[in-house]
Amino acid sequence: MPLMTTMLRRSSADADTVDETPKHLGWVMLTALGIGGTIGAGIFSMPGMIASKAGPAGTLSFLITGLIIMMIAFCYEKFSRVVPKGVSAYSYVYHSVGEVFAWVVAFGLFMEYSFGASAVAIAWAEYLKTAAGYHLPQALSGPVVIDGVHHFGINIVAMSVIAVVTVILIFGGVSKSAKLNFCLVILKMVLLFLFLFAGIKHVDPANWVDFMPKGPKGILEGAALAVFPYVGFDALYTFARESKSLRDTKVATYTCVGVVIFLYVAVMAVATGLAPCFIDGKENALFVGNEAAAPLAKLLAAAGETWTGQFIAIGAVLGIFNVLLVLCMGGPRIFRNMAEDGLLPPIFAKTSKGNPTVGILINGILMAIIAGFIPFGDIADMMVLGTLVAFIFVSIGALRLKLVNPAIAIAGGLGCLILAFNLNPLVLKVYAITCPIGLLIYFFYGIKNSKMARAGAQAKPALAANAEI
């Protein structure tokens, strides 16, 4: 079999086989799951980073990204009909584009969950600092970039919380119910509306006067980072098999993305109205460095709403810890799915109390190193790139199978591509090195051991026997 044909083999949809997965989630619970995965550390931590790039025009950044994500969500919704047993982008791309591209997407999703969890750990540490009112020396608070110069530091709190989560997952297991998630979603929604209510009283329109301090380029750079808060909607499609109906999945998809777009734009408008994004031509300290990992609480405190800011910080500590648990489970589950498909060794598929322990341990060590030694902004960029790669291939797959109007798939894919090239150039260089290294694993192991390869090997003797007859 020619190499190209082998790499482009596609999985079946398995639409005709019996699926014993219980269908117990209606559109309300599905929407809550999507919002729960989307309204998390991203909206609590990213407005500061986006404001440092786009200024008050960060509202446009969130809006542009929201429209692109809506087009991607349309592709996801159509895929859920064609591949009913699929789990998000990895399965959809495996079925529509081919095995090697599914591997690339899986690598991107692993980056999404792993780098995302590291960024979330840093955000959690910053909100904990605000909630508890403690201070640590800079050397123990993580690396920072001041006037373009990197200063060494170890984020001991972020590393510690990842270690705690890893131990919980390995030895305790986690049972995440939809009802518990619904309660946490309500908590996070209350916190965001509290921020809007408390902050709008202190908004100074003068802070919006220089609306686009860095022009259209700044808006696009901000839109690229705005992918971080939106990516959680992908979590909705890990539960699509449990949806009561296709209509429930469809309503949940568009309700989730619509609500999130409204909240993100509103939060960004108030955040940039509370303080100037730039002071004397320099970025406001509230919007850069690790301080930007907890901007909502810090902005309210700077405006005089000390107690409200502290309450939001306490609530965010609880809500973000839950998001951290979910993200720490995500990457190892990608490995588990790949191992079940034969693309990784079987050890990654072994579970204990529902969790793939080997993947969780390796992932935990990697995330702790990243969170401890890399600045918040660089980590966020890496997570965003992995997500955009997955979204681009989902668009290509939807276009190839003619699942959506070609204009929607092309616009969604090109939109993600444009955002990718507006990330930090260093991120693109790192990905250009790490992705080929990941592909080496595919060519030395996965291509020979995948289920598709074994199925083809079993089919050859049967064909030969038939030919002899």
Domains, the chain, ordered by start: 28-454 (1.20.1740.10)
Question: In a 3-state reduction of DSSP, which class is residue 171?
Answer: helix
- pLDDT on residue 114: 80
Q: What is the distance in angstroms between the CA of the first residue and the CA of the last residue of the chain? A: 23
Q: How crowded is residue 282: how many other Cβ atoms within 10 Å of its Cβ?
A: 9
Per DSSP, the three-state class of 330 is: helix
- Name the phi and psi angles at 401, rounded to 5: -90, 0
CA distance 288 to 285: 5
Please give the structure tokens belonging to residue 209.
């006067």
CA angle 185, 63, 224 (to 5 degrees): 90
Q: Where are the alpha helices (DSSP H) in 357-444?
A: 357-373, 376-400, 406-420, 425-441
DSSP result, 62-96: HHHHHHHHHHHHHHHHHHHHH-TT--HHHHHHHHH
| pLDDT string in tens for the chain (469-residue length) | 576 677 777 776 654 454 455 566 677 777 776 776 666 666 776 777 788 888 889 899 989 998 998 899 889 888 878 877 666 788 888 888 888 898 888 887 777 778 878 888 888 888 788 777 777 887 777 777 666 666 778 889 989 999 988 888 888 655 554 566 667 777 877 888 888 888 888 888 988 888 888 889 989 988 988 887 676 666 677 666 667 777 887 888 888 888 888 888 898 898 888 888 787 777 777 676 555 556 777 788 888 888 888 888 887 787 777 777 777 777 787 788 788 888 889 888 887 766 788 888 988 898 899 888 887 767 766 777 878 888 999 999 999 999 999 999 999 999 999 988 888 787 788 788 888 888 888 888 888 888 877 766 555 544 444 444 5
pLDDT of 294 reads: 64
Q: What angle do CA 276, 323, 104 make, to 5 degrees?
A: 95
Per-residue pLDDT, 412: 92
Q: What is the pLDDT of residue 392?
A: 92
Measure the CA–CA gap between 243 and 263, rounded to whole angstroms. Answer: 25
Do residues 403 and 73 touch, judged by C-beta distance below 8 A?
Answer: no
- Asked whether 418 and 220 are in contact (CB, 8 A), the reply is yes
Rounded Cα distance between 29 and 182, Å, is: 7
User: Which residues neighbour 14 within 8 Å (Cβ) at sequence distance 6 or greater?
Assistant: 83, 84, 85
CA atoms within 13 A on the CB side of 469: 6
Of 454, 158, 458, which Cα lies nearest the Cα of 293? 158
Q: On the CB side of 134, how many CA atoms lie within 13 Å of its CA?
A: 11
The helix/strand/coil state of 187 is helix
3-state secondary structure of 145: strand
At 173 the pLDDT is 58
Tell me the three-class secondary structure of 245-284, residue by residue: CHHHHHHHHHHHHHHHHHHHHHHHHHHHHHCCCEECCEEC
> What is the DSSP secondary structure assignment for residue 144, as one 8-state letter?
E
pLDDT digits (tens, 9 = 90+) for 340-394: 888 889 888 887 766 788 888 988 898 899 888 887 767 766 777 878 888 999 9
352 - beta bridge partners?
A: 355
> Which long-range contacts link 102-106 to residues 24+ away (Cβ below 8 Å)?
102/11, 103/338, 103/343, 103/438, 103/439, 103/442, 103/446, 104/389, 104/393, 104/435, 104/438, 104/439, 105/389, 105/390, 105/393, 105/394, 106/334, 106/337, 106/338, 106/343
Q: At what angle do helices 306-340 and 88-96 cross, to 10 degrees?
A: 40
If phi over 0 gives left and psi between -120 and 50 gives alpha, with beta otherwise, what is residue 176?
beta
Q: What per-residue confidence (pLDDT) applies to 398?
A: 92
User: What pLDDT digit, counting tens, does each position of 191-237 carry?
Assistant: 888 888 888 888 889 888 888 888 899 899 889 888 876 766 666 77
